[in-house]
Chain A
Amino acid sequence: MESNISFTLKVWRQAGPKEQGGFKEYPMKDIPTDTSFLEMLDILNEQLVEKGEEPIAFDHDCREGICGMCSLYINGHPHGPATGATTCQLYMRRFHDGETITVEPWRSAAFPIIKDLMVDRNAFDKIQQAGGYVSFNCGGAQDANAILIPKTAADEAMDSATCIGCGACVAACKNGSAMLFVSAKVSQFALLPQGRAEAARRVKAMVSKMDELGFGNCTNTGACAAECPKNIKLSNIARLNREFLCAKFKD
């Protein structure tokens, strides 16, 4: 049932990367609960523009949970209180009338703030460029039965490949570790024959890029998997460790 709620938004405002930031409160009146969280921010931004104030900068693109662009740390959770959903898939019906909703950017040294709620997640692209691909030309698609892949492996590879690279895992981690993201990318290839060929090189390159960019050491707290909008599993991290250690012992 649709109804309207009024609440206070407490938003992190920061004019630029080097600027001092701080929270600013905005009263929101009569927002329909069927509004998505980002639509609600659009409404606020329109009001701000009308008043001649600077609108709030936040990342978004597809608004259907597939691009990984939206972020936002809402009421203590990356992507807000819903599980298995991105910020763009979050609706105001999750919140209550009279509540104060705190909205913060991802906070991690490797994700510096660009402006307000927008952070620089280029580090993820750099890790991907270090080895998150298959480097040979696979040619045209062959008959699906030519390379047999066990259903369980195919499923797990597919599950790992659903990672959208949003960075919620890093935002959730008290160690600022990117292990869930990197392990998902390593796993999606390592589980399939086409990716297997370069598995050792890939895992070493991606881990060393991850370390170089200053992400933390994973202590297996599991906050990443609990907050991941795509439910990427913790077992991927064990697989990454296994792939990495085996590759190093073989050297």
Chain B
Amino acid sequence: MWLTNSSVGRKMVMGVTGLFLVLFVTFHVLMNAVAIFSAEGYNAICSFLGANWYAILGTLVLAAGFVIHIIYSFWLTLQNRRARGNDAYQVSKRPANVEWASQNMLVLGIIVVCFMIVHLVQFWAKMQLPELLGEHIEPGMYFIETTFSQVWVLPVYLIGFIALWFHMTHGFWSAFQSLGANNSIWLERLKATSNVWATIVCLLFAIEAIWFTFML
């Protein structure tokens, strides 16, 4: 199967799942924004995305996207380490136009995963999960309020967003390159779009977290 056996196929899987995750975080940040403007609106979204068949299906597809992306990322990185060999250069310099993020995607991804585990325990494990088990749950706003009233939460979230920003600034245009949709003209445009998109998403996430900490 060429999606597992060939390097270009594996990169396609990485690119498709990566772009899917970019779309997901974009929707996520927009839904959070509702909580700033309308508590009722946010509660409505939360109950809409509760234990309904479409929300469960969405969750499963999303989880699959994450799992495939993460499994492939470890797999590809291990293969790349082996291809590179054990002998490191004594002196090695990063050329000016090589992004730092591009060489540290796995580390950045692992930070994002750690953040996600904290985040899932704080929200998903108290919202969709108990609802699936048939328990009664509080409306969405309740969890935002209780979570962000703890002082350690905001710094942890900000670290997660910074890692995500670095990951996305490279990942976004890299995915287009992996899928073959790139050329000398679009390369610079896509790099610019990567930066703008990642900045909007991560900045909004950060503003929301700060808002929930201080304004609620």
Contacts and interface: CB of A to CB of B under 8 A. Distances in A.
Interface of A: 10, 23, 73, 75-77, 102, 104, 107-110, 172-177, 179, 207-208, 210-211, 214-223, 226-227, 233-235, 237-246, 248
A222 B98 contact: yes
Interface in B155-203: 170, 173-174, 176-184, 187
B154 to A, nearest CB: 32
Given A75-B91, A104-B90, A241-B179, A221 B98 contact: yes
Given A218-B7, A221-B103, A235-B182, A248 B2 contact: yes
Nearest to B176: A238
Interface of B: 2, 5-12, 76, 79-80, 82-85, 87-99, 102-103, 105, 170, 173-174, 176-184, 187
Contact of A216 (B80, B97, B99): B80
A75 B92 CA distance: 7
Interface of B, helix, strand, loop or mixed by DSSP? helix
A203 to B, nearest CB: 9
A178 to B, nearest CB: 9
B71 to A, nearest CB: 14
Given A222-B97, A222-B98, A217 B103 contact: no
Interface of A, helix, strand, loop or mixed by DSSP? mixed
A241 B83 contact: no
Contact of A217 (B80, B85, B92): B80
B102 A221 contact: yes
Contacts of A226: 95-98
Contact of B184 (A76, A107, A172, A235): A235
B9 A76 contact: no
B215 to A, nearest CB: 40
